[in-house]
Amino acid sequence: MSLTSFAPAAHAVIIGANGGIGGALADRLAADPGFARVTRLARPGLDLTDPASIAAAAAALPAPPDLVIVATGVLHAPGLAPEKALRDLDAAALARSFAVNAIGPALVAQALLPLFPKGRKTLFAALSARVGSISDNRLGGWHSYRAAKAALNQLLRTIAIEQSRRNPDSIVLGLHPGTVDTGLSKPFQRNVPTLLTPPAAAQALLGVIDAATQAQSGRLFDWQGEEIAP
């Protein structure tokens, strides 16, 4: 499948392209004849918790981007785990989740959206999660991850409103990739009805991106193209 809604010889920038979904997205776009450039950005060269690192990466881009996808996120790490109860909340872990899952993508948008060309479709997307939906929260738990993804969804909505005024052909989306067989989901894959491989998730997400219109900007969609309520 080739993306057909972007201008010829488009430039894609993938944040978090060192493996998993980000790597699969970059590989898929590199094989698309419609994209002349795919810039892969990841740690250690790019640190989402360091604004100076983001600004430097933006300044070093070889061309203005037509498509930017932030494919990063943290659910568990040393000192960070999904909370089962309120008593498990930890201030440092909560701050880290917000820094990576919400603040980092917003700073990428701040640095890269002004570089988008005008007069043609451009798109900024960040990987969010269904658990960031407040109206869909029926189980509780996972306090910091849920809250950070909810914050990301609100940031994307707010950014989309401003972007529509500055660049009317530009689109801002939140994307839920489903449960993908990566390190992020590995401890939580038991009883998952649909477990996607990274290439399958990448292809599905790019289909949603290709079909996206400006009328959908600021909203959250899953890998099947279904809108998720905030």
Confirm whether 152 is domain-assigned. yes
CATH number at residue 181: 3.40.50.720
The pLDDT value recorded for residue 180 is 87
The pLDDT of 150-163, averaged and rounded, is 98
pLDDT category, 97, cuts 50, 70, 90? very high
pLDDT of 195 over the 90 cut: no
Average pLDDT, the chain: 94
**pLDDT tens readout for residues 171-188:** 999 999 988 888 676 666
The pLDDT of 95-115, averaged and rounded, is 97
Name the residue range of residue 82's domain: 10-222
Count of domains for the chain: 1
pLDDT of 65 over the 90 cut: yes
pLDDT of 230 over the 80 cut: yes
Confirm whether 230 is domain-assigned. no
3-state secondary structure the chain: CCCCCCCCCEEEEEECCCCHHHHHHHHHHHCCCCEEEEEEECCCCCCCCCHHHHHHHHHCCCCCCCEEEECCCCCCECCECCCCCHHHCCHHHHHHHHHHHHHHHHHHHHHHHHHCCCCCCEEEEEECCHHHCCCCCCCCCCHHHHHHHHHHHHHHHHHHHHHHHHCCCEEEEEEECCEECCCCCHHHCCCCCCEECHHHHHHHHHHHHHHCCHHHCCCEEECCCCECCC
